[in-house]
């Protein structure tokens, strides 16, 4: 579904981010339909037991299962995201295991688990703009 919605950047359990970074229905009423929203709500309901937070369309579709934020100070935070990725294009960099990644390994790493399916681990620093 997310691949079909070309005007969508991310789908959260309570709103949708469009490509122009506006949130539907909070910031804007057009650009997304209530019918499509209902279809996504059905998907979130089916995935509830897996604690899926959102779907994002970075490279392929990322199914976000976990986000952790640790504040370093009042200015910077470490953000760690884990989940599943679906992509018709081979993702990189591929690693044998995501378990041994440390803080020297900033970025997004993938472990292939099936045809077009990956587990991913991403971390980086978040700073206010």
Question: What range does the domain containing 117 cover?
Answer: 61-126
The 10s digit of each residue's pLDDT in 38-52 is: 999 999 888 888 778
pLDDT in tens, 56-96: 886 677 777 766 667 777 778 878 888 888 888 899 999 99
Distance, C-alpha 11 to centroid of its chain: 8
Nearest-angstrom CA–CA distance, 75 and 6: 34
Q: Is residue 21 part of a domain?
A: yes
Q: Does 36 share its domain with 71?
A: no
What single-letter DSSP state applies at residue 41? H
pTM: 0.70
Domain count, the chain: 2
Examine residue 106 and state whether it is found in any structural domain, yes or no: yes
């Amino acid at each position: 579904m997310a691949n079909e919605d070309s005007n969508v950047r991310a789908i959260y359990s309570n709103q949708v981010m469009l490509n122009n970074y506006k949130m539907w229905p909070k910031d804007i009423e057009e650009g997304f339909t209530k019918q499509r929203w209902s279809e996504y709500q059905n998907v979130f309901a089916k995935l509830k037991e897996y604690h899926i937070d959102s779907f994002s369309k970075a490279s392929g579709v990322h199914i976000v299962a976990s986000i952790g934020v640790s504040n370093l100070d009042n200015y910077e935070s470490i953000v760690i995201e884990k989940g599943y990725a679906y992509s018709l294009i081979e993702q990189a960099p591929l690693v044998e295991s995501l378990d041994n990644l440390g803080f020297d390994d900033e970025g997004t790493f993938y472990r292939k688990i099936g045809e077009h399916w990956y587990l991913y681990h991403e971390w980086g620093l978040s700073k206010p703009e």
